[in-house]
Amino acid sequence: MFETIFPGSRASDAFESNMELGEALDLGVKLFTPVKDRILGSIDGNHEYRSRRAFGLSGTEELMKRLGINDSHATDQLTIHLQVGNITYDIMTLHGWGGARRVGAHLNKTEELMNITGDCDVYITGHEHTLYVSRYDKELTSSVKGRYIKQYLVGCGCFCYYTSFQRSKALRRPHVGAARIRFNGEKRDVHVSI
């Protein structure tokens, strides 16, 4: 939603954007108000980092404030404990980083989240604008989750289309859409559809 283009930014001449920050915020409020009670959290990404350095402002954080749900906004990483039925699922997410071109490299970066905490049910990144899912079956030595856990690594896709910036760098077309993650409330079971 927030390209955060300004003079001198790396992308100021490359991105195709026709909305200023205020217009993007107004659109965000309009789009997300009907579902704001279903938003579990928000996190800054590279465009917000850019605007924080330049202006001290994150478009995503400002949007959450306008929606009245800024208590679940994170600037770096976010861990969500989601209660579904009798099961509590742990989800770790961060925006992502770097300029990897291949899906394997994207997946490797998501796998690195396991270095922060190794027992989440789902790890999600989004920087690469790629949809992917991979599963690990892990034996736990001591956990309230039981002896084994299925862990999912998810690339969450995006809702932006192929830009001249991406074409100029010979980047692949982004995967438009979002991963759908379903949690079973009766047994520890996760399904991810892309």
Distance CA 142, CA 17 (A): 50
Q: Picking from 16-20, 23-27, 117-121, 139-143, which range would have the lowest pLDDT averaged per residue?
A: 16-20
Give the mean pLDDT of the chain: 83
Q: Express each pLDDT in 35-74 by its tens digit.
A: 999 999 998 887 788 888 878 888 899 999 999 997 888 8
Q: Express each pLDDT in 131-168 by its tens digit.
A: 889 999 888 776 666 778 899 999 988 877 777 777 77
Q: Express each pLDDT in 178-187 by its tens digit.
A: 899 999 999 9
Q: Give phi and psi for 111, each to the nearest 5.
A: -60, -30
Q: What is the pLDDT of residue 14?
A: 47
With CA atoms as reference, report the closest residue to 36 among 71, 76, 75: 71
Tell if the pTM clears 0.95, that is, is over it.
no
- Count other Cβ atoms within 10 Å, centred on residue 71: 8
